[in-house]
């Protein structure tokens, strides 16, 4: 008796169909395009290269990267690093007149694990909240601070934000850091309503 070859059904189980192969290839190509797009977008946004191509890519990809929290900024390193120490604080005034100072996270005051999780809040305060171009963020930030300090018997009535900075001077000849005097300025005051505390 001659051996019979696989039936049509067995052939379908044994080897993937052409449609399935095409779908896998399309999936793989899609993943590669996705990765390549992000690598190019990150490189154009992060590297301090001045060219027409890089500028065009940056203009087109920055809104997408910012919307999904993927935007990276290398201004800490190049080409012109910030030469300021910056702090942002809030002064909360309560119904009875008492005041309290609340600080956004300062990395030098935190342990290594906390720094990892709270750096984004420091960055939010020092690179966005304090900058007048992002003034639209301030009312929401003030409501957040008010809710953090809400006491039903003595609720907050105002939240005032202060920005403080000192210029970083070159190191002294003996290798020690010389700190400049700090300047502190109020930049936003918010009157808290009962609805803000919910």
Model pLDDT, residue 13 = 57
Question: Cis peptide before 79, with omega less than 30 degrees from 0?
Answer: yes
Would the pLDDT of 184 be above 60?
Answer: yes
Backbone angles phi, psi at 148, to 5 degrees: -60, -30
Model pLDDT, residue 129 = 93
Q: What is the pLDDT of residues 150-163, one digit of tens each?
A: 999 999 999 999 99
> What kind and span of H or E run contains 93?
strand 84-94
* Section 6-29 average pLDDT: 69
Model pLDDT, residue 93 = 97
Would the pLDDT of 109 be above 60?
Answer: yes
Q: What is the pLDDT of residues 22-80, one digit of tens each?
A: 788 889 999 999 999 999 888 887 777 778 888 888 888 888 888 877 776 666 665 66
Q: Which of 77-81, 147-151, 166-170 bottoms out in mean pLDDT, i.e. has the lowest?
A: 77-81
pTM above 0.75, yes or no: no
Pick the most confident of 1-5, 12-16, 79-83, 157-161.
157-161
3-state helix, strand, coil in the chain (%, to 5): 45, 20, 35
The better pLDDT of the pair 183, 42 is held by 183
Model pLDDT, residue 149 = 95
Number of Cβ within a 10 Å radius of residue 53? 9
The answer to whether 45 and 56 are in contact (CB under 8 A) is no
d(CA 125, CA 148): 16
For residues 13-31, one letter each, b for 16 or more C-beta atoms within 10 angstroms of the residue's C-beta and e for the rest, the string is eeeeeeeeeeeeeeeeeee
Confidence of residue 9 (pLDDT cuts 50, 70, 90): very low
């Amino acid at each position: 008796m001659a051996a019979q070859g696989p039936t049509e059904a067995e052939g379908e189980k044994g080897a993937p169909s052409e449609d399935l192969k095409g779908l896998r290839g399309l999936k793989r190509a899609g993943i590669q395009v996705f990765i390549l797009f992000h690598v190019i977008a990150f490189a154009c946004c992060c590297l301090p290269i001045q060219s027409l191509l890089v500028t065009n890519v940056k203009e087109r990809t920055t809104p997408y990267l910012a919307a999904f929290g993927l935007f990276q900024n290398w201004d800490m390193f190049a080409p012109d690093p910030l030469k300021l120490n910056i702090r942002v604080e809030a002064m909360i005034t309560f119904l009875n007149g008492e005041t309290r100072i609340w600080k956004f996270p300062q990395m030098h005051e935190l342990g290594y694990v906390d720094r990892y999780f709270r750096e984004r809040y420091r960055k939010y305060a020092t690179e966005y909240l304090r900058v007048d171009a992002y003034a639209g963020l301030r009312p929401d930030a003030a409501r957040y601070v008010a809710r953090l300090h809400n006491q039903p018997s003595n609720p907050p009535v105002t939240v005032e934000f202060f920005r403080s900075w000192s210029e970083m001077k070159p190191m002294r000849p003996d290798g020690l850091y010389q700190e400049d005097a700090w300047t502190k300025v109020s930049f936003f005051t918010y009157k808290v309503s009962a609805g803000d505390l919910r």
